[in-house]
Amino acid sequence: DAGVIQSPRHEVTEMGQEVTLRCKPISGHDYLFWYRQTMMRGLELLIYFNNNVPIDDSGMPEDRFSAKMPNASFSTLKIQPSEPRDSAVYFCASSSWDRVGQPQHFGDGTRLSIL
């Protein structure tokens, strides 16, 4: 089992540029989550998908943020245009559901710095 795979691991870009973060969930998992973590705000859930369908995007901070899951093995989180306050570590996680819930598995994260 390869685990949740995120890319890139680090991203440094200038304000105003488009940023795309990528995630490959664990095969067979039907839930996928995008989180953002900062010192000030801790771990925040941005959006999550079930069977490739967005269920709750209330955590997405602004219209500049968008997420897609075109198939069960791939998801993207896009920021356009990026701003310095978007600098954070972005995590992707996946899990499966069987009435009692199974563990969430996290990727190693993407450390994003917007200059």
Partner 1 sequence: KQEVTQIPAALSVPEGENLVLNCSFTDSAIYNLQWFRQDPGKGLTSLLLIQSSQREQTSGRLNASLDKSSGRSTLYIAASQPGDSATYLCAVGFYTNAGKSTFGDGTTLTVKP
Q: Which residues bind partner 1 (CB under 8 A)?
A: 31, 33, 42-43, 45, 48, 50, 55-56, 91, 93, 97, 99-109
Nearer to partner 1, 40 or 63 (CB): 40
DSSP per-residue letters across 1-52: ----EEE-SEEEE-TT--EEEEEEPPTT--EEEEEEEETTTEEEEEEEEETT
Nearer to partner 1, 54 or 64 (CB): 54
Q: Report the half-sphere exposure of 26 (CA within 13 A, side-chain side).
A: 17
State the minimum distance, in angstroms, from the CB of residue 59 to partner 1: 10
Nearer to partner 1, 10 or 85 (CB): 10
Q: In what order do the strands lie in the sheet with 19-24?
A: 5-7, 19-24, 74-79, 65-71
State the minimum distance, in angstroms, from the CB of residue 58 to partner 1: 11
State the minimum distance, in angstroms, from the CB of residue 73 to partner 1: 19
